[in-house]
Chain A
């Protein structure tokens, strides 16, 4: 305890997330939380070391940003390169890229929900941290653990069938994809769909039924008004591959519709905070920090008028019923993620049922025709922006990346403050209190290595800092 009685709690490292971070909670004299900060403690420099490389290497280089969502980076990067070539890729290539992306969202969401977050729901937020993980879950609820592993496997196997390997496949290229889909691969994917569809449906049913238990968490897990931002189709439908940017406010009213994703710089600002390598973005017309917005599953479902697949559409209607305004609690990211899993499976089936999916014309060839290109896609965690400039020779001269997790930077900060204020008492600190602080971060499923394009150790740390800056209490994992 410091002289004036103010303290700081540090959670370092934050566990069961993708990447490295710590959280500091600042307490006042009464031991109540006064302020909270989410620090992303890694730095990688992708934007810098790509300079000078031929643009045609960018998709594969960018895929290395992340081992969990390399496909999302491949999509955004390939789209940016398509813009450099100024070509329209063959329709079948676009459909194949869509399937690739849906498989990626499916496997990533399964990872987030089952591997990282479900131990909190099933074993309890206050349960023993030693067994509060997938292994502990497999012992108590083997069928749930198995479902999660199966869903993720299904997504990964589609990526492997299309791209040749599960992690960092090089199949997606500027102008399309490098090889068409075979009949055998299509049939193998289609054969697996009924099983995973059943898993997706039953998981949603179970999760919806258990939500009652988390009333307190729903009320305090990042439950505040913000804007929501993401891509929607021209008809307002859910999309991952392309569309126009829509922004809505907390009441659910449309603020902007039909914004050109390539003009992101007109409406998205980036702010660097001295305590984190994560650049936080904000909606420019509202300024910083009032322009706080959220992206990702919760935002996408708030933004979308429809999904375009029968089962997901029913679930979306139910989701919109959760709240008369936009659905505001970040706890519902989990719910939204499960609906998106359902959508991914249904949508893949639609695309694979189209006979044109076997078309052999899957690549357009061209030389660079533009010196600047932007590629935007919806990654599992939200809107992903790749922006490149090249010289006359086709060598990269400038790169800007805005990663989904960065959009959520402000909201994650505010969320941990809300959770900490609600649950953490400095005078009687319990592990379960801090786990809730971590759990709200997990709801966003941040990918920190992506968002800082950084490198480091995968850990979580919570720190309690006194008013004079002294670290009084620290929990490390």
Chain B
């Protein structure tokens, strides 16, 4: 009977679902085929709740909760897709588009971009905020890869995969608020980084065209991420 106590039951969008006690709302929703949009989360990496797209309503709390880092509780009642949430999600995506220079038509990731496909899925046809058009840098100093800050959404997947999986911790975030940007080593050109192993994991977990392989033309940057959960699993098994 001790095991049964580890199972929680809750409602998501009016549906009765059960979950293991350590699971997040996002994991349970996905197991049950309930769609919650995300950009920063990626299976195999830790969750940081950076993008705020997975915010859900939980009955009894006034604040919205990020589904990727909120653990399930017994008798919880979760709403994933209210009109209010849809509005917030669209606003978040629109703000992401205005913050840097995302020009899908001429992007290496056109047609294979998580930001683009999510915007399509959420039926965003226009951006209602003024574009900022910042002057963002392109660092092509690395022998094989390019970072184009115009297309970065600060999801920090690159930071996490580099630290947690590769163990190099080449990537980090510098600055605050609107000035925040991902950097290599101590804000040095990627090509002169002493810590980068050139493994390319950061490129493949990047949801947009911010990180890409050199020489790729428009729409050619296909990303492979399926390796990640296996890699994590294998390493955990090695350790145990």
| A residues adjacent to B (C-beta < 8 A) | 52-54, 56-57, 59-61, 64, 168, 170, 173-174, 178, 365, 367, 393-395
Contacts and interface: CB of A to CB of B under 8 A. Distances in A.
Contact of B217 (A52, A60, A168, A393): A60
B15 interface: no
A64 B218 CA distance: 12
B108 A57 contact: yes
B215 A395 contact: no
Interface in B127-158: 138, 140-141, 146, 148
Chain A interface main SS type: loop
A60 B218 contact: yes
Contact of B140 (A60, A174, A365, A393): A393
Give 4 nearest A-B pairs by CB, closest first.
A60-B218, A393-B140, A173-B217, A170-B218
Contacts of B214: 54, 56, 367, 394
B216 interface: yes
Chain A CB within 10 Å, residue with most, of B105, B106, B214, B219: B106
Contacts of B138: 52-54, 395
Contact of B106 (A52, A60, A178, A394): A60
Nearest to A168: B105
A219 to B, nearest CB: 46
A52 B220 CA distance: 20
A178 B105 contact: no
B141 A56 contact: no
A54 B146 CA distance: 9
Contacts of B141: 393
Interface residues of B, number: 17
A59 B216 CA distance: 11
A325 B217 CA distance: 46
B218 A367 contact: no
B9 to A, nearest CB: 49
Contacts of A174: 215, 217
Nearest to A174: B217
Given A57-B106, A57-B108, A170 B140 contact: no
B106 A64 contact: yes
A367 B215 contact: yes
Contact of A170 (B148, B191, B215, B219): B219
B217 A395 contact: no
B140 A173 contact: no
Contacts of A59: 217-218
Nearest to A396: B138
A173 B220 CA distance: 10
Contacts of A54: 138, 140, 146, 148, 214
Contact of A365 (B148, B191, B215): B215
B106 A56 contact: no
Nearest to A53: B138
Given A60-B218, A178-B217, 4 more contacts: A56-B214, A56-B215, A64-B105, A170-B217
Contacts of B220: 170, 173, 178
A233 B123 CA distance: 51
Contacts of B110: 170
Contacts of A57: 106, 108, 217-218
B143 to A, nearest CB: 9
Contacts of B217: 56-57, 59-60, 170, 173-174, 178
Contacts of B218: 57, 59-61, 170
A174 B105 CA distance: 18
A60 B215 CA distance: 13
Contacts of A60: 105-106, 217-219
B40 to A, nearest CB: 26
Interface in B211-227: 214-220
A395 B140 CA distance: 7
B105 A394 contact: no
A447 B208 CA distance: 35
Chain B CB within 10 Å, residue with most, of A59, A174, A393, A395: A393
21 contacts: A52-B138, A54-B214, A56-B214, A56-B215, A56-B217, A57-B106, A59-B218, A60-B105, A60-B106, A60-B217, A64-B105, A170-B110, A170-B217, A170-B218, A173-B217, A173-B220, A178-B217, A367-B215, A393-B140, A393-B141, A394-B140
